[in-house]
Amino acid sequence: MDTQNLMEKIVALCKRRGFIYPGSEIYGGLAGTWDYGPAGSLMKKNLKDLWWKEMVQVRDDVVGMDSAIMMNPKAWEASGHLEAFTDPLVECKICHQRFRQDKQAEIEEHERTHKDQKVEWTEAKQFNLLVKAYLGVVEGKQSEIFLRGEITNGVQVNFKNILDSTRVRIPFGVAQIGKAFRNEITPGNFTFRSREFEQMELQFYIKSDPEEGKKWFDYWKEERMNWYTSLGIKKENLRFKDHEKLSHYAKAATDIEYQTPWGWDELMGIHNRGDWDLKRHGEFSGQDLKYRDPFTGEEYLPWDIETSAGVDRSFLFFLIDAYTEEDGRVLLKLNPKLAPFRAAVFPLLANKPELVEKARKIYLDLKQNFMIAWDERGNIGKRYAAQDEVGTPYCITVDFQTLEDDTVTIRDRDSAKQERVKISDITSAIR
């Protein structure tokens, strides 16, 4: 399948089946924003819940938090975002469209659109990505603030609060999921680069020691890679890519990249941030953010190993990886834990009240434990096809035999094979 074609198919499927719609579509849209529909919001929630379970619930060295999107602007000064959260912006002198100078492929593609004209570019200027907002109720005296450009700062400024209100000890982590905003120069590739998106991050605080730094950096690299493959992304579509040029805050940085239809591109990052954040927030706030070892009494600023993943990029790559065309079918081979619905329930015929009643009961019972879809329109083949495209792993059909022996058919999405199962065994079968 050619790659342009594949992305077009995925975008169309997302709209058709209620995964993702263009933001504010009836008003002509708003570049770089997307709305998750009924199926998409379910899958996104599953994705975040699975991440949270793995990162917080089953571990005893990580706590969670949920910090405000709006922060005192000093926090952004301290973290270096006011100065350095920039991308190099260049403008085409022919049509005045703006691009990121560091995205060579996009620059070349644009140059080709001008055919035989020679494109000249303006000098690159550093463009700050923070989105501004204004707070206050008196016109003219409102204060300028920033919507967070990443969710890290909300955790860093609460380091002391977390130490004082929980029993965590180094090494420990703080996990958070939430929205971030960036005035991206060129949003694009569907949700891959958006202006509003969600991140899921872990800040893992360790002893300020290079060996510890290396140990935990390597540990979290493997953990995050394994998470994606355990949920079904094909191993050959993922790789580590070390940063050649480190950000102002980093001592080491690696990305996990995904082989997208447009080439290898960043899924998430793992960074050794050293003591950059705590040091700067300590200096700018005048607060002592040092950690005191309860056993040795030693005081130091811990280092932070960060894992930072985009919820939307993870979502998109799970979708792309699951997209399959097989035997005339289009299906999403999503891991059942990620799929919007665990199962769908159908009465074989919509005009037979005894079938509908029986199916309705099964549907409502299963809904107590799983997200379950209901469909009684059209013929059964069309219903299967619709569920395949949403990635529903199991379709349960109530037919005439059900009325006799209390069994139903369960159809498996990937093999399209059916099996007869007792109604009382459905829950364990789909679990």
CA–CA dist 427, 431 (Å, integer) = 6
Q: Residue 144 burial by CB count (10 A; 0-12/13-18/19+): exposed, middle or buried?
A: exposed
Q: From 206-214, 287-295, 306-314, 414-422, give the range in contact with ligand ATP by CB under 6 A.
A: 306-314
Minimum distance from CB of 41 to ligand ATP (Å)? Answer: 17
Q: Whose structure tokens read 């960036």? A: 182
Pick one of 313, 342, 411, 413: the residue that binds ligand ATP (CB under 6 A): 313
Pick one of 111, 223, 266, 365: the residue that binds ligand ATP (CB under 6 A): 266
Q: From 66-74, 189-197, 224-232, 385-393, give the range in contact with ligand ATP by CB under 6 A.
A: 189-197
CA–CA dist 15, 8 (Å, integer) = 11
CA–CA dist 348, 351 (Å, integer) = 9
Binding mask 154-183 for ligand ATP (x = CB under 6 A): ----------------------------x-
Q: Would you count residue 199 as binding ligand ATP (CB under 6 A)?
A: yes
Which of 270, 274, 303 shows the shortest CA–CA distance to 171? 303
Q: Whose structure tokens read 């992305």? A: 7
- The nearer residue to ligand ATP, 178 or 347, going by C-beta atoms, is 178
**Two tokens, residue 87:** 């991308």
105-130 in b/e form (b: 16+ CB < 10 A) is ebbeebeeeeeeeeeeeeeeeebbbb
Pick one of 261, 310, 336, 393: the residue that binds ligand ATP (CB under 6 A): 310
Q: Would you count residue 269 as binding ligand ATP (CB under 6 A)?
A: yes
Pick one of 257, 277, 304, 312: the residue that binds ligand ATP (CB under 6 A): 312
User: Is the Cβ–Cβ distance between 399 and 362 less than 8 Å?
Assistant: no
Q: Would you count residue 307 as binding ligand ATP (CB under 6 A)?
A: no
Q: From 212-220, 303-311, 386-394, 412-420, give the range in contact with ligand ATP by CB under 6 A.
A: 303-311
In this chain, which residue has its C-beta nearest to ligand ATP? 310
Beta bridge partners of 178: 199
Q: Would you count residue 184 as binding ligand ATP (CB under 6 A)?
A: yes
Beta strand residue intervals within 293-339, DSSP E: 299-300, 303-310, 323-326, 329-332
Minimum distance from CB of 128 to ligand ATP (Å)? Answer: 13
Beta strand residue intervals within 196-243, DSSP E: 196-206, 238-242
Site residue total, ligand ATP (CB under 6 A) = 16
Q: From 54-62, 193-201, 324-332, 363-371, give the range in contact with ligand ATP by CB under 6 A.
A: 193-201
Minimum distance from CB of 102 to ligand ATP (Å)? Answer: 8
CA–CA dist 11, 28 (Å, integer) = 17
Neighbours of 104 (CB within 10 A): 9
Q: From 35-43, 262-270, 357-365, 390-398, give the range in contact with ligand ATP by CB under 6 A.
A: 262-270
Q: From 37-45, 63-71, 218-226, 263-271, give the range in contact with ligand ATP by CB under 6 A.
A: 263-271
Site for ligand ATP in 339-378 (CB under 6 A): none
Which of 340, 329, 315, 354 shows the shortest CA–CA distance to 394? 340
Where is 234: in which H helix or E strand?
none
Which of 332, 324, 329, 232 shows the shortest CA–CA distance to 18? 332
**Two tokens, residue 30:** 């708003």
Q: Would you count residue 44 as binding ligand ATP (CB under 6 A)?
A: no
Pick one of 156, 308, 392, 402: the residue that binds ligand ATP (CB under 6 A): 308
Q: From 48-56, 164-172, 290-298, 308-316, give the range in contact with ligand ATP by CB under 6 A.
A: 308-316
Q: Would you count residue 309 as binding ligand ATP (CB under 6 A)?
A: yes
User: Is the Cβ–Cβ distance between 56 and 147 less than 8 Å?
Assistant: no
- Per DSSP, 70 falls in state B
Pick one of 130, 268, 343, 356: the residue that binds ligand ATP (CB under 6 A): 268
For ligand ATP, the binding residues (CB under 6 A) are 150, 182, 184, 193-194, 197, 199, 266-269, 308-310, 312-313
